[in-house]
C-alpha cells in the first residue's frame, strides 16, 4: 500500500484527498501565447429547391492553394465550395445570416 493511503471499510486502499496547493497554477517562466487572427474565406453553396444558393464563411486552416475550389464545412454546418476570388464578407445580398453572426461580422 502506498504511503499516506488508508484502508476503507471494504478493505480497499483509499488515496489521500487533494488539498489546495500554495503555488500559483502557472509554472515559472511560462509566457502568454499570442494566437493569430482567424481567417475566413467565402464559399458558395448550391441551391436546394426554393432555397437560393448562399455565400457562407469557411474558417481557413490550410494554404489558399489547398482550399481553392474545394468543398469545405462552413461555420453554419453547410458544405460549400470555396471561392478565393470572392472576399468575405461578401458584398452580395445572398449571404448566410448564421455565418455572418458566427464570423462576428456586423451587417451594413
Q: pLDDT band for 7, please (50, 70, 90 cuts).
A: low
The structure's pTM equals 0.61
Return the SS3 of 91.
coil
Query: By C-alpha distance, which of 62, 63, 66, 42 is closest to 54?
Result: 42
Handedness of CA 100, 106, 107, 108 (dihedral sign): negative
**Contact (Cβ atoms closer than 8 angstroms) between residue 32 and residue 40:** no
The pLDDT of residue 35: 56
Task: Write down the domain spans for the chain.
Answer: 40-102
What's residue 19's pLDDT? 66
Helix (H, G, I), strand (E, B) or coil at 53: coil
Amino acid at each position: 500500500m502506498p504511503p499516506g493511503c488508508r484502508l476503507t471499510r471494504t478493505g480497499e486502499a483509499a488515496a489521500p484527498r487533494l488539498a489546495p496547493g500554495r503555488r500559483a497554477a502557472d509554472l515559472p517562466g511560462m509566457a502568454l501565447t499570442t494566437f493569430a487572427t482567424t481567417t475566413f474565406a467565402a464559399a458558395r453553396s448550391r441551391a436546394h429547391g426554393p432555397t437560393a444558393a448562399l455565400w457562407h464563411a469557411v474558417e481557413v486552416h490550410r494554404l489558399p492553394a489547398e482550399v481553392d475550389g474545394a468543398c469545405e464545412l462552413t461555420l453554419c454546418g453547410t458544405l460549400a465550395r470555396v471561392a478565393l476570388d470572392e472576399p468575405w464578407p461578401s458584398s452580395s445580398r445572398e449571404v448566410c445570416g448564421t455565418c455572418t453572426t458566427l464570423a462576428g461580422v456586423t451587417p451594413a
